[in-house]
Amino acid sequence: MLRRIVDFALDDEGDWTAILDCGHPQHVRHNPPFINRPWTKTRKGRQSKLGERLDCLRCDRLEIPDSCRPAGRTPTYSDATAPLKLLEKKAGPTGVWTRITVLAGYLHLQTECLSDPQALSPAKPGIVAPGMHYRLAPLAGARFFLTFYATPVADWQPS
Ligand SMILES: [Zn+2]
């Protein structure tokens, strides 16, 4: 999944990492002659790369970044009480990861990354990456709630 560079940080070994808008860090080493990124060496060089996109494999694997902080949760809903707004097709909020916890029954999660809906259950929670389009369909008897995790760069409050 393509993500925008929003910041840079040094890791524990002194190598530069790009901080992406999903919250994941990604190494941008300058290691000639194999990897040439002389721009990492200067502040001006790094700043010139802000806003560029990198492919984030951790997003493809749906790993919630360690840097995320809990940012609230919905009430527990059933298939009968879930608000329509929650069930319609939409994009996950920018800079916010969503975890879908099922307490009972089953829920179908359709995302743009999968051709078939995923069946979520108490043993199998669902994860939606920031900006990913998705749709939820609870089956009869389902009880579930959503938990939100904001990246450090996200300016977001649950509605
Ligand atoms: Zn990512």
Which two three-digit tokens encode residue 127? Answer: 């994860």
- Global pTM reads 0.85
User: Residue 125 Cα, ligand 1 centroid: separation in angstroms?
Assistant: 19
CATH class belonging to 2-60: mainly beta
Please answer whether residues 8 and 18 qualify as being in contact, where contact means their C-beta atoms are separated by less than 8 angstroms: yes
**Ligand 1 mean position to 141 CA, how many Å?**
34
pLDDT in tens, 134-147: 999 999 999 999 99
Q: Write out the residues surrounding ion ligand 1, Cβ under 5 A.
A: 22, 24, 56, 58-59
Q: What angle do CA 21, 71, 6 make, to 5 degrees?
A: 15
Q: Which of the four CATH numbers 1.10.10.10, 3.40.50.1970, 1.10.1760.20, 2.60.120.10 does domain 69-150 have?
A: 2.60.120.10
What tokens does 135 get? 């749709």
List every span in the chain annotated with CATH 2.40.50. Answer: 2-60
**Does the structure show a pLDDT above 90 at 91?**
no
Helices (H), strands (E): how many in the chain? 3, 13
Answer yes or no: are the C-beta atoms of 108 and 118 closer than 8 Å: yes
pLDDT in tens, 119-134: 999 999 999 999 899 9
